[in-house]
Amino acid sequence: MSAESTVGSTDLPVKRQREDGENGVSMETEGVKEPDCISAVIPGWFSEISPMWPGEAHSLKVEKILFQGKSDYQDVMVFQSSTYGKVLVLDGVIQLTERDECAYQEMITHLPLCSIPNPKKVLVIGGGDGGVLREVSRHSSVEKIEICEIDKMVVDVSKQFFPDIAVGYEDPRVTLHIGDGVAFLKAVPEGTYDAVIVDSSDPIGPAQELFKKPFFESVAKALRPGGVMCTQAESIWLHMHIIEDILANSRQVFKGSVKYAWTTVPTYPSGVIGFMLCSTEGPEVDFKHPVNPIDAHDKSGRPLRFYNSEIHSAAFCLPSFAKKVIDYKAN
């Protein structure tokens, strides 16, 4: 992980952006103002305070703010932390840090792609940072990777500040669409994809539609029979009610398997994040037992840092308090 500041060597200078112009974004270059989420708490630290996790906050020490902008959709910030590398923040919520992004990106990608033989066409909704693309690229069977990200600023900022993550865009199989994932999916011909990965932020703000039943119906339609969806599905410690909703929507729409998995990500609230894995009616998918191990055909030259076949299966084992709610409803 690089710990050096990229300010000064980049095309995107440190700047403050606000909505106003033609495309809703213009630049103020007079300097950086501390965002509220920093100055309000420990001076010199970023603290993540949200009604999504009341009464607790995780804080990271800030070495330098590298970017602040306001896109059409959200506040975007990048800072150099003292011990977690560079950090991407959207609307005050940490999306990734260089130190632990491997856990999220590798799990959200390989849990679905290693569960089906020979995935060929993959769609990523959200995931503008490019990390999921980087992981999809490891699969040599894949011929076509499409990504629909609503916020171009996330893509630009990632290419600028997180080259080891945005490297995913360099794969010639990738096509980037800037736009609304909900609308994009509606226009997709039936049965197009082997896998759809929904790498969204939390269900408040721009991503809220991505947790609702109509969106799941579009995903299911866009998948081939026995195709798979993996969507970010919050924390068993904090958001069991949201998970229950996602589960109920999934069960109604997906007639194959519906399973919940989770993994550790230190900089996400409560230190864990979950995934809902669903398959459409067709060839059976046994998510817990991967049929398409990644190691064999990964030509990326970048060793997996987190994922392996053992942790794939283990991710589906739930603590009793979560099992009681999730497995009961999912099976």
Catalytic residues: 199
Residue 88 sits in the site that holds its own copies (CB under 8 A): no
Name residues contacting its own copies, limited to 2-41 (CB under 8 A): 41
Residue closer to its own copies (CB basis): 51 or 172: 51
Angle at 289 between CA 287 and CA 295, to 5 degrees: 105
Residue 197 sits in the site that holds its own copies (CB under 8 A): no
CB of 308 to its own copies, least distance (A): 5
Q: Is 54 exposed, middle or buried (0-12, 13-18, 19+ CB in 10 A)?
A: exposed
**Rg of the chain taking only CA atoms, in angstroms:** 19
Beta bridge partners of 316: none
CB of 233 to its own copies, least distance (A): 15
Give the range of 4-12, 76-84, 160-168, 195-203 binding its own copies by CB under 8 A.
Answer: 76-84
Residue 300 sits in the site that holds its own copies (CB under 8 A): no
List the one residue from 24, 117, 293, 319 that touches its own copies (CB under 8 A).
Answer: 319
| Sign of the Cα pseudo-torsion (300, 301, 305, 308, in order) | positive
Q: Any idea which residue has 């109509």 for tokens?
A: 214
List the one residue from 184, 254, 275, 307 that touches its own copies (CB under 8 A).
Answer: 307
Site map 258..297 versus its own copies, x via CB under 8 A: ----x-xxx-x-xxx-------------------------
Give the range of 8-16, 131-139, 165-173, 313-321 binding its own copies by CB under 8 A.
Answer: 313-321
- Which H/E stretch holds residue 240? helix 240-253
Amino acid at 20: D
Site map 218..237 versus its own copies, x via CB under 8 A: -------------------x
DSSP annotation of 278: E
Give the range of 7-15, 50-58, 186-194, 249-257 binding its own copies by CB under 8 A.
Answer: 50-58
Angle at 116 between CA 111 and CA 122, to 5 degrees: 75
List the one residue from 2, 39, 83, 208 that touches its own copies (CB under 8 A).
Answer: 83
Q: How far is CA 329 from CA 217, 228, 253, 263, 315, in A?
A: 19, 19, 14, 20, 18
Residue 82 sits in the site that holds its own copies (CB under 8 A): yes
* Torsions phi, psi for 196 (to 5 deg): -125, 125
Nearest CA among 88, 112, 128, 93 for reference residue 234: 93
DSSP annotation of 118: S
List the one residue from 10, 47, 141, 300 that touches its own copies (CB under 8 A).
Answer: 47
Residue closer to its own copies (CB basis): 131 or 206: 131
Q: Please state, in angstroms and rounded to a whole number, the distance separating the CA atoms of residues 221 and 216.
A: 9
> Which chain residues interact with its own copies by CB under 8 A?
41-42, 45, 47, 54-61, 81-84, 100, 102-103, 237-238, 262, 264-266, 268, 270-272, 303-308, 310-311, 313-315, 317-321, 323
